[in-house]
Structure 1
Amino acid sequence: MAFHLLSRPYFMILIITLWSQNSDGSLYPKFEACEPNTCSNNQTISYPFYIEGIQEPFCGYPGFGLSCGNDGFPFLNMSNAKYMIHQIFYNNSLRVSNAVFSRSNTRSCFPRTPNLTLSDTRLALAPNQRELFLLFGCDLHEGLQEHIIGCSEENKTGSVVAMNRENQNLGFALMNCKGGVVNVTVEDEEGGIQEALRRGFLLNWTVSDCNKCKNSGGKCGFDTDIFSFRCYCPHDTHARHCSQEKSGNSVVILATDLSIKLEDESLVAVKVLKELKGNGEEFINEVASISRTSHVNIVTLIGFCFEKSKKALVYEFMANGSLEKFIFETNNLTGDYQLNCEMLYQIAVGVGRGLEYLHRGCSTRIFHFDIKPHNILLDENFFPKISDFGLAKICPRNESVYCRNIGVVSHKSDVYSYGMMVLEMVGGRKNINVEVDCTNEIYFPYWIYKRLELNQELALRNVINESDRDIIKKMVLVSLWCIQTDPSDRPTMHRVVEMLEGNVETIQVPPKPFLSSPSISPRTSPSH
């Protein structure tokens, strides 16, 4: 669906009143709740971390809950062991050490601690950390004594030896230490191994960027109901950063194009509806459906206005426009503006999460009915958001429902459109014109399925390494499941996101999703 613009020069004054959730002037409760806090060592704890039992979980990221130790230091539970946090650097890193080493000396007895595993977390070892081996139950052989750091807690007699991988005596120690081996990490070995163990090592974390929210006066958090980053502002919640508009103030803007500036210099996008269809049903649909949503992958409706037959919707401005202009080969974009495989994958996952939210995250189920590249908008970082709810239907939370002028429909119609869109993304075309040596148009899903069936190279653009091949194959397999002819064979959007985020080897090749090879791609589902 395109924006409707007037055919002659036209100026319209839009007066929009933006109401906040707290018109009495009080602060938003989550904004107040997410004040930074501290254990008794004066170390500030804020997003993505939170102190369990003191700060609310929505003030931090899932899995980043900390506890306060008796010595005043915060600690993090990882791999069934306590890790003391010496310092948090809010540039996405922190220094930690295993608590058993925090007060160690040459007379300390150490328990066998579990090896640290980070594979299922958003934490990772910082670059250039060093690996050490702690060997338990060692006898006092010559060549091992200088490496002893304490005794084994199990029997109080066997020694614990620490060595790095480069030590020439490591092999000898492995044969003579009978109590097992534990891998530990240190940042460096300055001051000796005992001091290095006390000082610990650096971890990096990967979560949503908090800077835009903080710089706009907000406090960062996370909504586990929609599994998305949230910016808690003085009067409400936003997806990325706080609005500069005051509660209840009118904003006067002069609209001559689709993107304009408010008085505070922030950009917005205006969609003007000139000729309304069905007694304004499109306008009503858009306002009624999108105003019920709050998700990082759904475009934000800032406000709306109307005068007689003229109506306008005001949205957040998305700097890169629609996905459509970035994926089709006919657009002739330069290299700087082409999307690589990882970016295409992240966009597909983002749109999938947005659709999953519409289907099961809202108080009522919303069917979009118009998922296509043109209706996926990209911000300055190519973060995707679903837009254009003119055809959307708000339906009760059952599997399918009868909607006027459509008949019996279900969320599987959106699943089908999503699958077709992802195929267009990986193919860089509108599902036609694949084989250059053939003058007839070839239906792209048919062509790509035949390649998979024959175990042939997919031979798609922008694939430069094995990781790209896996990403594209995963997107193709998932999209072919989505466009199955029988709606009952199509996965839910929740399952779609699971498959996209999982291992490509676990995704089975779906049945052939069509009965024949049509010459053009249908945009809508062949069955509801």
Structure 2
Amino acid sequence: MSSKLTFYFYVALVLVFLTIPSCCCSGDAQFQNCSGFYSCGSLQNIGYPFCDGDEPCGCGTFSLFCESNKYTLMEWGYRVLGIDVPLQKMTVVRNDLWENICPEKGYSPSNRTTNAQFTYADRVRELNIFYGCSSEVESQVQVKSNLTCHIPGVNESRVVFTDSFIQDLRGCKVSIRVPVLPRAYDDLWDGKISLHEAVKQGFDAQFSSPMGACTACVNSGGRCGSDNEDKLTCHCREGSYPAVCPTNNGKRHGMKLALGIAASAMAVFATVICYCVYRLRENRKIKEYKKLETHIRQYGSLAPKRYKFSEIKKMTQSFKDKLGQGGYGGVYKGKLPANGRPIAVKILNVYEGGDGEEFINEVASFSQTSHVNVVTLLGFCLDGNKRALVYELMTNGSLEKYIYGESRLSWEQFYQIALGTARGLEYLHCRCNTQILHFDIKPHNILLDDNFNPKISDFGLAKLCTKKRSNISMAGTRGTIGYIAPEVFSRCFGGVSYKSDVYSYGMMVLEMVGGRKKPCGEAKNSSEVYFARWAYQRLLLDEDLKLQEVTSEEEEETAKKMTLIGLWCIQTDPSQRPSMSKVIEMLEGSLEDLEIPPKPFMCSPLGSRNDTETLLALPLSPVHESSASSSSF
């Protein structure tokens, strides 16, 4: 019997025994207190490993008490919104953020693991909430909370929130990290709910408990509880014991035997059901694996070299040197066994119910490409549920860290990076056998080699389509907020096509220039500090951009050229954006040949209080992603 089937069997036994009515007879007080279930508000039939904190049953870490018709964990200060004992999962929310998310005494960021028996469940998302922020900081972020909190001794009281990878915002006094449910995270960014509503929905947490030992206790006629050291105690009618209840007279033995037979029959039935569910899941995994194999085989000799997972471990010395963490998994440094060539290995996360789309996209896209400005895929691993991608190592990491980090590049290097990226995109759009739309062009996905030559990476969101089709059909939204073209959000702006990549490229180019902009003290309202609008006004008046580290007319001309091209690329109407072939022509041409484009505009994701035609914000101060920003492959 497999480990998963054994787990289902024990779950079935626990469910069976927890539903068997207890015989009410005199005996140990703790046995009586632990015999039944209890309820509070929407939480019904609560049992081991949870217990009522006002009763002497004893369950240590999982002791609850009912307050305002909701259960709260006494030890950790979390309000419990839901409990799933078989899956050992519960939904909780920080009690101190239930009524008001404004800090009264100041908070410190909470650790990811709150307790040894209490951890975040898979796919929990995190928000960083910043308090006491200046008006300048509020104007720089794309989404504001529309909240203000009074903090003693702090003049500014604005509240903003960001993705968890933004660890710090200069100009904010207090910050906390709050986990939320994935659906609440998405609804918050879509403007469907407020920040406080997202936090109040809580997050899923996994708890550990000796359910197998509890089953043995219940099978002996006892009830599960915990002692002062949080170890399981079996409460029986005649007293409490470390594991199971002792055998007494024949009458009691006969009663337990009868109950055992009935329970066994029910357990067998429940186990059959659980086994069927287990087999269905395994069949889905097998079907997914066969689907991936079919996709790989159709590329024949064009497919990159295939490795076993044991070979991947050997290449990376058992994943010894981690380069970063991306949205789809970790990236590790390694060497090819044949020639010792440095490589970067991306280990893809495999989520329950996933169809492996990002894996297929990566292998399929790279099987079609060979270009100096596209990262080379050297191999892949599809070994059961283990998936990995092997790339050439890009030693200088991603472009993102050179825009805002301390390591500065020259304006000529930025220009060459913009030109090389444009050539790579033009190749994907026009010169592949199958047109490839990337859908996630951003500084983080532009990697730099030893000579700072750019290469496009991460095709997990890419879509392959025939060149004859001007527009493509696509379900849902793909990309990163801040770089997504308006038609990808809403089809009322036009059809989704290669022009959507042009928009993302334009936003990236503007960010390359805008990251070198000095803070603008002449802005009259917050919307004017958005770099694209600010730069457009100055170009319209034929004024200098006043950028940092511009020391010559040639550098000023390069900055203006990149800004003009970026503004052309982010036109709201896709038909007004140039193709990547035209972008290359514009980059290689003269500044005098470039006209000022129409004024680009669109509403920000959650609207603007000051201006209904606010541009999507570009950050004007360093904003770092997670450790994945330094991934080099």
TM-score normalised by the chain length of structure 1: 0.48
More helix by share: 2
More strand by share: 1
